[in-house]
Amino acid sequence: MKKDHHFGEQKAGLLCYIVGMVVLLTVYQAVITTVTEFNFFDTVSHYQKLVQGLSVSLLFLMLGLLWMAYRQWRTITYEHDQLETILESIGPDVIVAIDRNNRILRCGGAVEQMSGYTPQELTGQKADLLYHDRNIGGHNYEIQSAIQQAGFHLGYATGRTKDGKDYLLEIQTSGLHSRNGGAVLILHNLDERHHARAQLQRRFKLEETVTDISAKFINTASDRFEDACLDALKQTAAVFDYEFAGVGFFSNGDQTHPEFRVWPQDSATSDPTFTGALAEAAAAIGGGRKEAYCFPQNLKSAPQPLVTLHNTWDLQSVVLSPMKLQGQTFGFLALYSKERARRWAPQDTGSLRAVTNTFLTGWLGMRTAGKCLDTTQQNLQGNQPIVETGDCNQPEETT
């Protein structure tokens, strides 16, 4: 209860300081009047000294009261700002104070994120501006009855934004037990919560996909790399919700004609012009540009090879992730769609890079294993003994 009356007590203290100053001024005036009326002085000079002394004493008292009033005001302002910060930091939840006529007295800054209205636009307006269809069994009075009897009510409504969009809203109402009445509403955007939950589940799915792809490449022999690669591309396209997923590897440093694999198979993938444009775009993006492009929105900012892909092969959206290791580019991972422009979530960029690194690791591992196999076969054909040195069995002549 002490906390409930905290601000009221502080304001009462500030009022006491102000009243104290008024009382001091009144007493000073009464003293001067009394001194003048009863001639408590011998000469005019004595009178002036007496009044001057009283004035100096009053001045110091007034300064002391003004300082204490200033400190009290600063404390109230600081705690008020803290309360405003808390109200604005509740996230998607909004706190709204209304009077007995359902008019908004105050609301947190988060209301703009939820509804599009600023707190200044809502102050003095009916709370119905934020929602509609709030009732129990078609009777609004049942809400008021619940507040009067239990002091609390939890229900649902259809929220409405400034631009007319509707969303599911949960409203907690707590009545104010004061002479002026009113209530406090806590608004929860359930659509936002569902979206956040879906995003979290998708994040888990992305992590599972990265782990699964890594396991495929680790447990796959080099001669089965093609199947493992296509299977991994299928998972990548599905988890990022793109129509096509492709990967290009630069063999022997050739960045103009990459070894390109795509899922699902498409006629464009056999066209060297298509894969060459993708490789050029990946090289341009590797220079520090953004990785995701939608057309025609990003035609002006996209590298020229991507513009060519859009104009020639009707690609609507492209995401490219270059494969880099120690400053050297080994290939790229591509996601693209011909159906529609797909929006790219920036928070998915980290997961895409993890998948890209997994493809690169699998490809480098396959090449290393292939070189070792070729060396072993040559060694056996030459009847040379095998000496195990380092990571790969290398032939060494013996004397």
Angle at 343 between CA 337 and CA 346, to 5 degrees: 120
Q: Are residues 165 and 226 in the same domain?
A: no
395 lies in some domain: no
Whether pLDDT at 365 is above 70: yes
How confident is the model at residue 318, as a pLDDT?
A: 92
Sheet holding 104-107, edge to edge: 104-107, 94-98, 183-189, 166-175, 152-160, 131-132
Omega cis (within 30) before 296: yes
pTM over 0.85: no
Task: Pick the closest to residue 243 from 125, 163, 341, 356 (CA basis).
Answer: 341
Whether pLDDT at 12 is above 70: no
| 8 Å CB contact between 127 and 148 | no
Whether pLDDT at 245 is above 90: yes
Q: What is the tens place of the pLDDT at every residue in 333-357?
A: 999 998 887 878 777 888 888 889 8
144 lies in some domain: yes
Q: Are residues 36 and 114 in the same domain?
A: no
Q: What is the tens place of the pLDDT at every residue in 90-142?
A: 555 788 888 878 888 888 777 887 888 888 888 888 888 888 777 555 445 55
Phi, then psi, of 353 in degrees rounded to 5: -65, -35
How confident is the model at residue 86, as a pLDDT?
A: 57
Pairing of strands 317-325, 292-294: antiparallel
Question: Rounded to whole angstroms, how far apart are CA atoms 395 and 377?
Answer: 10
213 lies in some domain: no
| 8 Å CB contact between 122 and 130 | yes
Q: Are residues 234 and 363 in the same domain?
A: yes
Cβ atoms within 10 Å, residue 122: 22
Whether pLDDT at 154 is above 90: no
Structural domain span for residue 347: 220-371
Helix (H) or strand (E) holding 263: strand 259-263
Q: Are residues 177 and 256 in the same domain?
A: no
Q: Are residues 245 and 329 in the same domain?
A: yes
